[in-house]
A and B are shown apart, each in its own frame.
Chain A
Amino acid sequence: QKEVEQDPGPLSVPEGAIVSLNCTYSNSAFQYFMWYRQYSRKGPELLMYTYSSGNKEDGRFTAQVDKSSKYISLFIRDSQPSDSATYLCAMTVGSQGNLIFGKGTKLSVKP
C-alpha cells in the first residue's frame, strides 16, 4: 500500500461547480498536510497548509483534515476555468524535508 493515495482523475466540472479533491494516507505520524497546485508545464505551488486535524479556509478554498480516518480533502467553491490544473496533496511528519506527495488529480473547469 502506498503511503499516500490520490485519485488521478481526470475530473471535469462546469464553471461554478463545487469541487472536492481527496487523499488518503496510511502513516498516522503525519502531522502537516498541504495542497499544491500545478499548472501544465510549471512547478507545483503551495495552495493550502494545515497542521493536524481541522478545517482551514482561504477564499474559495477549504482544506479539511480528518486524522482519525487518515483522510484529507480540498474543496473549491465557485470553480473557475483558471482553477484548471493538477492538484497534489502532500504530507510530512514534522519537517518539510520529507514531503510525501500524492500522484495528483487533474482538474478541468469548463466555461
Chain B
Amino acid sequence: DAGVIQSPRHEVTEMGQEVTLRCKPISGHNSLFWYRQTMMRGLELLIYFNNNVPIDDSGMPEDRFSAKMPNASFSTLKIQPSEPRDSAVYFCASTLLGSSTDTQYFGPGTRLTVL
C-alpha cells in the first residue's frame, strides 16, 4: 500500500491567495483527519470525517478554512483567503475506525508558507 498521499508537499503563496491541500487516504480506511502542526501549538486536530461525513470540525480555526470529502478516496482542505499565521505543516491521517487498534496513519504533510 502506498500509504496516505498528500499534495503538494510544499506550498508558498502570498497573503490573500486561495490554498488547496489534497489528501488520498489509505484504501479501505473509513476515517480521515486533518491536522496542523506548528512549533507554538504542536499538532492540532482541525477536522475529521467518518464515512465521508464531517464529524467534528471544532478545531477549524475560522471561516476561512473549509474541508470536503466528496468520496472515500479524496479530501481537500481549503484556506481562502490565506494569511501569514496559517503558515504551518498540515497533515492528513486515516484509519479504520472500529478495527482492533484504530491506528492513525499519517501522510508526509504539506509545508505551507504564506508570505
Which A residues are within 8 Å of any B CB, using their own CB? 41-46, 49, 88, 95-104
Q: Mark B82-115, 1 if CB is under 8 A from A, else 0.
A: 0000000001010101000111111111000000
Which B residues are CB-close (under 8 A) to A41? 108-109
Known contacts: A43-B109, A103-B42. The answer to whether A96 contacts B104 by CB under 8 A is: yes
Main secondary structure of the interface of B (DSSP, over half): strand
Across the interface, A97 reaches (CB within 8 A) one of B42, B44, B55, B105, namely B55
Min CB gap A4→B, angstroms: 9
The interface of chain B, by Cβ under 8 A from chain A, is 4, 31, 33, 41-45, 48, 50, 55-56, 91, 93, 95, 97, 101-109
8 further A-B pairs in the complex, CB-CB below 8 A; given A43-B107, A88-B42: A41-B108, A41-B109, A43-B106, A46-B103, A96-B31, A96-B95, A97-B50, A99-B104
24 contacts between A and B (CB under 8 A): A41-B109, A42-B108, A42-B109, A43-B4, A43-B91, A43-B93, A43-B108, A43-B109, A44-B43, A45-B105, A45-B106, A49-B103, A88-B43, A95-B97, A96-B31, A96-B95, A96-B102, A99-B45, A99-B104, A100-B45, A101-B42, A101-B43, A103-B43, A104-B43
CB distance from B6 to the nearest CB of A (A): 8
How distant is the Cα of A97 from the Cα of B29 in the complex, in angstroms? 13
B106 contacts across to A, CB distance below 8 A: 43-45
